[in-house]
Structure 1
Amino acid sequence: MGFFSKLFKGPEIDLEKSAANAARMRELFDAVVPEGSKYRLIFGYTEDVSRFNYGFVHGSKTKIGNLIVGWDEAGETIVAVPTVPDLSGCGEPTFYRRSEILKASRNKYPTDAFVIYPDKKGYLAINAYDWLEDESLYVYVEQEKELAAFTDFFQNHFAK
């Protein structure tokens, strides 16, 4: 029975690799965000879906954008820092302060996403999961506890 339970359990998380990536996320975040150490972190991603129609050929193409997402409960602030799956670098942070955004909500369909509308023209949808195995598209990090904490923060402070 032990063999079959392991066989059907699915892939196991490499906790060492996950911890190394979590430390690298912290390093990158702290390098570009003032007082970065006061923020808790998760990995998230965005999707940009472009649709095309060439007569008989219809379809869509999705671009994935990786994010290091930090939140400060006391300051009611979320910070999104673009990065790449191998965490070789990052871009400039974007700050979303609760007092400065138009609205925020949590979408459950078609994907579970935390959506922030800074104004009437744009939005940021943060998709986040406990762990994603595809290292070519996503940062390899296990974050069950951090995701639960972020979800509570978002529901209690942003999606009012």
Structure 2
Amino acid sequence: MAAVEMPEALKPISWLAGRWKTESGCGKYPNIPEFQYHEVLEFTCIGQPMLNFTSTSRHPEKQTPMHQERGFLRIKPGSHQLAFIVSHNFGLTSLEEGQVEPEKQQVVLISTSISRMSFAKQPSVKSLKRVWKLLDPGTLEVTIYMETDDTPLTEHLKAVYTKESQE
């Protein structure tokens, strides 16, 4: 496949483009035991003012699939405004909006809408917040916060990723 030129509009988030991998993801939440995971994140450009997104996590010992996400990170051209539309394999779809903060090389997204399938597991997810922060050109820190029917917005996932390849 031929390389695609990244649109000028994506310049503020171009540092996300590529494949990122972690070996040290940690999950926690008040009503579940702490857990570890391995994950691969991919942000790819196909020439539009957005990055296509995939996330696949696996159990660190068994290598069995855990969580998956697919979506689109769209930037409003000429701005630092972002919209992230993502579908989760456990029956949730979220629309998250926020901004890229170029001076901090950070993206902060907060859910504005969450939909779930009728038979999704309880408790219901009510809110999500994501923070992607570039620690250095090859290192990305990701923190995800979650609110459910039972628990206020609380840190749920945290991992440091190494860039495996450019987009």
Normalised by the size of structure 2, how large is the TM-score? 0.31
The structure with the largest helix share of the pair is: 1
Computing the radius of gyration from Cα coordinates, the structure with the larger value is 1
Normalised by the size of structure 1, how large is the TM-score? 0.32
The structure with the largest strand share of the pair is: 2
